[in-house]
Amino acid sequence: MALTPLKQLATLHRGALLTLLPPHGPLVCGSRINFLGEYRRPGQPRDNTPPWKKIRFNFAKGVEAIQQDLTSLKDEVFGRFVGPQGRTLKEHLLEQTFVQWEFRGPESLSNWIVSSDREIGGRSEAYLKLGRNNSTCLLYGTLCSIPPRDGETSYSGYCTVRSKQPLKSFGRKKHYDWSNFNTVHLRVRGDGRPWMINIGTEMYFSHHKNDMYNFFLYTRGGPYWQDVKIPFSKFFLSSQGRIQDNQHPIQVDKVNTIGFTLGDQADGPFQLEIDFIALCNDRAHTEEFAYELYKRNPEV
Amino acid sequence: MHSKNQIQEMHAALRWEMNLAKVSVEKVGSLRNIHSSSTLLKNEPFATDYGEKSEHKGEGDKSLVTHDDLFERVAQESRTKATFSRVLDVFVRQDIRRRGHVEFIYAALKKMPEFGVERDLAVYNKVLDIFPKEVFVPRNFIQRMFNHYPRQQECGVQVLEQMENYGLTPNVETKVLLVQIFGEKSHPMRKFQRLMYWFPRFKDMNPFPIPHQLPQDPLDLARFSLSRIANDLDAKVTVHQMPFTDISETGEEVSQPYVVGIQSPDQCHLLAKHNTSRPLFVEGPFALWLRQTCVHYYVLRADPLPPEEKVKEPVDPERCFFYPLELDLDLELDRDLGDDDSFNVDEVEEGPVFAMCMAGQGDQATLAKWISGLQETNPILGRTATVFRLESGPRELQSTAEPEPDLQPHHHL
């Protein structure tokens, strides 16, 4: 592993992780080298503070983190005796449906990150809260597609919610393994706007870190819930908002995050209510990948 | 389209002009002479006054001539497709070299929404037609290997990207133009190929399609949106009140807003079984987005039933003659996990929806007309209290557990 020292250097430079985790965390976790760097708004100076100044050492927090780590380590170790991933072998082999995310209680919202084009200087607002009967997740806000006047940004107007990267003990990355299933099943209620589902998977190379698999989620609107089934084969690869030429099917055993993005250029309030996000095995669906590839450089 | 001969002629003329311009630079060494030489050599004098004006202005200050000017001057008259394409014609005829065409195309792209031609494929093709043909086509492998005329290619890609953003699929004419301008393997051509790959796939993706041109009549719009959200083909749309404006004898203007409601037979049955001691709620307005337009609707609903009042309906045994739909056996019949396709989640407790409506005004008097109109088919509404829970702004779609105490119930008898 020639990359290891570089990797460690890069993880050291990521101050955000350091503030959240005890110092041993990021050195162990196999995060990637950050060649491209984080997004920096045009016109804003580069953050030149050295990484050691970003460490905010807190003894209580450290103890708490170590406690959490040890607890999850214990779960991992003893979960092995039950079966793979802490579930029985029968479940692991035979289950046809699996509810990955459901929103039953306030703690279920802590696994989600809401962001909007505020980060790039836009004016959209997005908030996440529980529905009034405390059993659904309500994403609401206002969309505003006026681009920021920084001279570089030409498009704006998005609101997005994304699930957090699941972590094992000591800050190691964990991936969802959905290889038993071939379809995402969502129960949503929107207001007629089209959304986009983004699935982020673990990639090997660092320049793939912005890669995502997307598909559209059309909402009907109205007071009724809507069951949406999207096969994995329909998801297409995109990177930084651009569909890629080389398409390949999603790797369902290394899924990190799922997200929902709104960016339909219709300024105004929006809302999306999610009941649950589940996976199912649609035995009638046999397609492996929906997007065929043509010869790359044909003689014209 | 230019034929091959025409283009070759144009090339010859262009080269000759360029030589002449070089000569004039060597002789006089001033920029003014290049401009004058080009105007002298113009083989086709332009007739429209826009062009003359622009040239006149151009001589006034040479340093910065924006092409927005041309559009702005035309925009004072009218902003239509005809005037837009006239501006493009003027620019094309002004100068055989199409000097400054990249800037002009960027300006044209920016002005397109103002002139209402942003969803017009013919106009985009016309904009692409501004590029001189065959000049930017790479001729040898070195040119092909490197980015040949990058500014022009970027501009061409930008035209295609604006088409993409407005959801326009390019046609064969676009392809022919791009091949003529940039060649077969240029960046704009690649962009075209990508568009042609993805757009037909995503074109009819929406399972709830919305036309680009929504109906202008509010009644038709209400009918369309209500049947969209009702999600039931049997649902019946009823116009409870037609809109009209009239001037009464006293001279006051009397107007009544439209009220359009929808109710499906299932909702009707549900409402007939409703417990009359529990109030019904008219809630709203809730937003519904149809592409760029937002409409609002109102819902007649009840609170979710408390668990002690829930009655399990016996399944009609005649619904299926072939196998029993219910088995009252006292066995531990555990279904095999591999056959279980249900989701292991709790149902969301929500009150039933009995009807939906859209109205021209969202006040209580207007919506009371809806309720009284519904009474004709649902006599139970006359015996049940109806509470109006209306808000001025759009609100989240939720069934509340407890009604707000400050609202007075409104009885219909």
With CA atoms as reference, report the closest residue to B209 among B172, B169, B170, B167: B167
DSSP state of A257: E
Which of A68-77, B237-246, B355-364 tops mean pLDDT? Answer: A68-77
Residue found under tokens 């106009």: B123
Instruction: Check if A58 contacts B (Cβ < 8 Å).
Output: no
Smallest CA–CA distance, residue B28 to chain A, in Å, is 39
State residue B2's pLDDT score: 46
The angle that helices B4-28 and B31-40 make with each other, rounded to 10 degrees, is: 140
CA distance A281 to A95: 9
Q: What are the sequence ranges of the domains in chain B?
A: 67-202, 218-305+349-399
Cross-strand pairs, B238:
B261
Say yes or no: A147 and A93 in one domain.
no
Q: Which residues of A touch B198 (CB under 8 A)?
A: 243
**Among candidate residues A247, A277, A278, the one with its CA nearest the CA of residue A260:** A277
Question: What confidence tens digit (pLDDT) does each residue in A204-249 have?
Answer: 898 888 899 999 999 999 899 999 999 999 999 999 888 998 899 9
Residue A35 lies in a domain: no
In this model, does residue B341 exceed pLDDT 50? yes
A145 versus A299: which is more confidently predicted? A145
Residue A152: both structure tokens together: 């570089």
pLDDT in tens, A159-168: 999 999 999 9
Give the C-alpha separation, B104 to B128, whole Å. 11
> Predicted ipTM?
0.81
Asked whether residue A274 falls in the same domain as residue A201, the answer is yes
Residue type, A192: G
Q: Are strands A255-262 and A194-201 parallel, antiparallel or unpaired?
A: antiparallel
Q: Which contacts of B89-95 are long-range, i.e. CB under 8 A and separated by 24 or more positions? A: B89/B48, B90/B46, B90/B48, B90/B50, B90/B51, B90/B54, B91/B51, B91/B67, B91/B130, B92/B129, B92/B130, B93/B44, B93/B46, B93/B51, B94/B46, B94/B51, B94/B54, B94/B55, B95/B38, B95/B42
Q: Say whether pLDDT at B49 is over 80.
A: no
Q: What is the mean pLDDT of residues A82-106?
A: 89
Has residue A108 been placed in a domain?
A: yes
pLDDT band of residue B65 (cuts 50, 70, 90) is low
Owner of token pair 């001189």: B132
| Rounded CA separation A124/A101 (Å) | 26
**Nearest by CB to A220, which of B202, B208, B397?**
B208
What is the end-to-end Cα distance of chain B in Å, rounded? 74
Nearest to A218 among B194, B208, B349 (CB): B208
| Contact between chains at B198 and A243 (C-beta distance less than 8 A) | yes
pLDDT of A55 over the 90 cut: no
Set of chain B residues whose Cβ sits within 8 Å of the Cβ of A271: 287, 396-397
Question: What is the pLDDT, as a whole number, of residue B27?
Answer: 37
Give pLDDT tens digits for A173-197: 999 999 999 999 999 999 999 999 9
To 10 degrees, what angle do helices B150-165 and B121-128 make?
Answer: 180
Please choose, from the candidates A66, A285, A283, A220, the residue with its C-alpha nearest in 3D space to the C-alpha of residue B206. Answer: A220
A214 shares a domain with A93: no
Find, among A133, A124, A128, A87, the residue nearest to A111 by Cα: A128
CATH number of domain containing A160: 2.60.120.430
pLDDT of residue A299: 65
The answer to whether residues A231 and A93 belong to one domain is no
pLDDT at B335 over 90: no
- With CB atoms and an 8 Å threshold, state whether B289 touches A243: no
Report CA dihedral (A202, A203, A204, A207) to the nearest 10 degrees. Answer: -130
Q: Which residues pair with A262 in a beta bridge?
A: A159
More confident residue, B409 or B66: B66
DSSP H/E element including B337: none
Domain limit, last residue, from A78, A97, A116: A97
Q: Which residue of A has its CA nearest to B304?
A: A133
A176 and A244 both lie in a single domain: yes
- Are residues A90 and A182 part of one domain? no
Q: Which one of B337, B341, B349 has the shortest CB-CB distance to A91?
A: B337
pLDDT reading at B13 higher than 80: no
Cβ count within 10 A of residue A37: 9
Q: What is the DSSP letter of A176?
A: B
Per-residue b/e over B95-122, b at no fewer than 16 CB within 10 Å?
A: bbbbebbbebbbbbbebbeebebbebbe
Is A27 inside any structural domain? no
How close A246 comes to chain B (CA, Å)?
11
Mean pLDDT of chain B: 79
Q: Which helix (H) or strand (E) holds A227?
A: strand A226-231
CA–CA dist B49, B71 (Å, integer): 13
Identify the domain containing residue A149 by its residue range. 98-278
pLDDT tens digits, one per residue of B192-210: 999 999 999 998 899 999 9
Instruction: Give per-residue pLDDT as tens, B371-404.
Output: 999 999 989 998 989 999 888 654 444 444 333 3
Report the chain B residue with the minimal C-alpha distance to residue A279: B343
Residues A217, A264 share a domain:
yes
How many structural domains comprise chain A?
2
Nearest to B397 among A223, A245, A278 (CB): A223
Do A172 and A217 lie in one domain? The reply is yes
A-B Cβ pairs (cutoff 8 Å, strict): 130
pLDDT digits (tens, 9 = 90+) for B267-299: 999 999 888 899 999 998 899 999 899 999 999
* The two three-digit tokens of residue A32, written as one number: 């990637």
Question: Which amino acid appears at position A70 of this protein?
Answer: L
Q: Is residue A60 part of a domain?
A: no
CB burial readout A91-108, b (16+ within 10 A) else e: eeeebbbbbbbbbbeeeb
Q: Report the residue from A131, A223, A276 with minimal CB separation from B343.
A: A276
Structure tokens at A260: 């929902």
DSSP at B342? S
Question: What burial letters (b/e) apply to B341-367, b meaning 16+ CB within 10 Å?
Answer: eebebeebebbbbbbbbbbbebeeebb
Chain A nearest-CA residue for B297: A222
> What residue of B is the nearest CA neighbor of A293?
B197
Long-range contacts of B77-84 (CB under 8 A, 24+ apart): B79/B114, B79/B115, B79/B116, B80/B115, B80/B116, B81/B115, B81/B116, B81/B117, B81/B120, B81/B123, B83/B115, B84/B108, B84/B111, B84/B112, B84/B115, B84/B117, B84/B123
Q: Please list every residue in chain B whose beta carbon sits closer than 8 Å to the beta carbon of residue A270.
A: 289
* Alpha-carbon span B70 to B12, nearest angstrom: 29
Q: Which has the higher per-residue pLDDT, B50 or B252? A: B252
Residues A166 and A78 grouped into a single domain: no
